[in-house]
Amino acid sequence: MANRIVMAYWDCPSCGTKGNRGDQASCPNCGRARGEVKFYMRDHAEGQTLEEDERGSVEYVDEEKAKYINRSPDWYCSFCQSLNSDNAENCTSCGASRASSEANYFQMHSRLQQREAERQQPVQPETPQKKRSFLPLILIAAVIIGVVMYLNSSRTRGDFQVSGLSWARSIVVEQNQMFQESGWNAPAGAEITAQKQELHHYDSVLDHYENVPVQRSREVIDHYETYYSYEDLGNGYFEEVPHERAVYKTEYYTEVVSQPVYRQEPNYQTKYYYNIWRWTAVREENASGEGHDAAWPEISLGENEREGTRTEIYRVVIRNTKKDTTATYRMKEEDWRQLNTGDSLYITDRRSGADAYISDEKGERLMDLYPNR
């Protein structure tokens, strides 16, 4: 069965009359021959498709009349700009021969669209290129450099005085003690007292396979739907073109699959029980005081004891005589011993917050100061 023919409409470009039927060769209002026009369907956007139940507004041409409608586009007369049926060998408006005209309806619209696109193309005026100014970049770089230099700059002040010296020393005492332990490996030096086969872990071992029903799904075609597109024939009519699309549904089914079944088998290994001697910190002997008379605490070692780690801390309290505030720092022993209570000091620090240090009046580093932790 041939595709159905749909009536097209056109608007008169001369008098503006709209909705002229496609089978009218001239405007019924001003008589102008149908020329550079664009055919369209009523209540239907260009390129729109319709579903089966959406075609109530489509204006079909009677099937008997449609048998005699040529499916070829009109040809465009180069002399009077009229559109003529593909069946006509001469222009119905001016009588010019079709042989002297080359374009049909679609070629005419292609040329019109090309000219319209060229007309709407904006013309870019030539503007002289401005010289790029680097002044903003130079100013930003100068600001950054200035900030970095300010933060890294140092300041030296002489209104400081040593107001206190202190020290603290400690010695850890260790004792050789025996520990009773167990493990899957005996460390060097251990005295093994017993060893047993004990459960270490479970191993998954394939036992057998069993068939298990598994529900699965798949998409299958349920039916087909018809929808329609409309093709401009270029002669005052459209042709309705049917298309089919598949409609799917989800189908569920059961599939039997073979799945492995595992059993858990115990894994036994040798576990060792042993005695082992280790040096263990049991106490700490401390000593502290003011001034330079630093000394290590006296310790008395008992049975199976030894001297362990030694630690020592040396602190200085520095008073800001201008603000009447104090701060405590840690120092190396050799620097700490060069200071005495009442000594005047120069302190240099950085604006970035880096650690301060003892310096001469020119800011040259003499001794390091560390935070008191």
Please tell me which of 35-44, 129-138, 151-160 the model is most confident about, judged by mean pLDDT.
Answer: 35-44
Q: Are residues 272 and 351 located together in one domain of the fold? A: no
pLDDT of residue 95: 86
Better-scored residue on pLDDT, 163 or 146 = 163
DSSP conformational letter for 337: T
Distance between CA 291 and CA 11 in Å, rounded? 111
Tens digit of each residue's pLDDT (9 = 90 or more) over 13-33: 899 999 999 999 899 999 888
Domain-located, residue 49: no
Domain-located, residue 317: yes
Tens digit of each residue's pLDDT (9 = 90 or more) over 169-197: 999 999 999 999 999 999 999 999 999 99
Tens digit of each residue's pLDDT (9 = 90 or more) over 306-343: 999 999 999 999 999 999 999 999 999 999 999 999 99
Short-list 226, 238, 239, 232, CA closest to 50: 226
Q: Are residues 254 and 300 located together in one domain of the fold? A: no
pLDDT of residue 128: 60
At 291, is the pLDDT very low, low, confident or very high (cuts 50, 70, 90)? very high
pLDDT reading at 304 higher than 90: yes
pLDDT reading at 58 higher than 60: yes
Domain-located, residue 219: yes
The single residue listed with the structure tokens 């499916």 is 71
pLDDT of residue 231: 96
Domain-located, residue 111: no
pLDDT of residue 147: 66
At 130, is the pLDDT very low, low, confident or very high (cuts 50, 70, 90)? low
Q: Are residues 256 and 302 located together in one domain of the fold? A: no
Q: How many CA atoms lie within 13 A of 69 on its CB side?
A: 25
Taking CA 21 as the corner, what is the angle to CA 17 and CA 24, rounded to the nearest 5 degrees?
A: 95
pLDDT of residue 135: 79
pLDDT of residue 113: 79
Residue 372 is which amino acid?
N
Cα radius of gyration rounded to whole Å, the chain: 51
Q: Are residues 196 and 167 located together in one domain of the fold? A: no
3-state helix, strand, coil in the chain (%, to 5): 15, 50, 40
Q: Which positions ≥6 away from 293 have C-beta within 8 Å?
A: none
Strands 305-320 and 154-183: antiparallel
Domain that holds residue 190: 176-231+246-276
Mean pLDDT of 348-371: 87
Query: Using CB atoms within 10 A of its CB, is residue 26 exposed (0-12), middle (13-18) or buried (19+)?
Result: middle
The single residue listed with the structure tokens 């018809």 is 226
Q: Are residues 328 and 256 located together in one domain of the fold? A: no
Taking CA 320 as the corner, what is the angle to CA 359 and CA 354, rounded to the nearest 5 degrees?
A: 50
User: In Å, how far are 3, 60, 294 from 229, measured between CA atoms?
Assistant: 11, 14, 103
Q: Are residues 226 and 290 located together in one domain of the fold? A: no
Tens digit of each residue's pLDDT (9 = 90 or more) over 71-119: 889 888 888 888 888 888 888 888 888 888 878 888 888 887 787 787 8
Q: Are residues 166 and 214 located together in one domain of the fold? A: no
Mean pLDDT of 272-299: 97
Strands 344-350 and 325-330: unpaired
Contact criterion met (CB below 8 Å) for 55 and 74: no
Contact criterion met (CB below 8 Å) for 105 and 83: yes
Tens digit of each residue's pLDDT (9 = 90 or more) over 220-245: 999 999 999 999 999 999 999 999 99
Domain-located, residue 117: no
Q: Are residues 364 and 329 located together in one domain of the fold? A: yes
% residues pLDDT > 90 (the chain): 70
Last residue of a domain, one of 222, 254, 276: 276
Distance between CA 108 and CA 102 in Å, rounded? 10
pLDDT of residue 151: 56
Domain count, the chain: 2
Short-list 2, 1, 4, 78, CA closest to 237: 4
Domain-located, residue 32: no
Short-list 321, 370, 371, 373, CA closest to 342: 321
Q: Which residues pair with 267 in a beta bridge?
A: 201
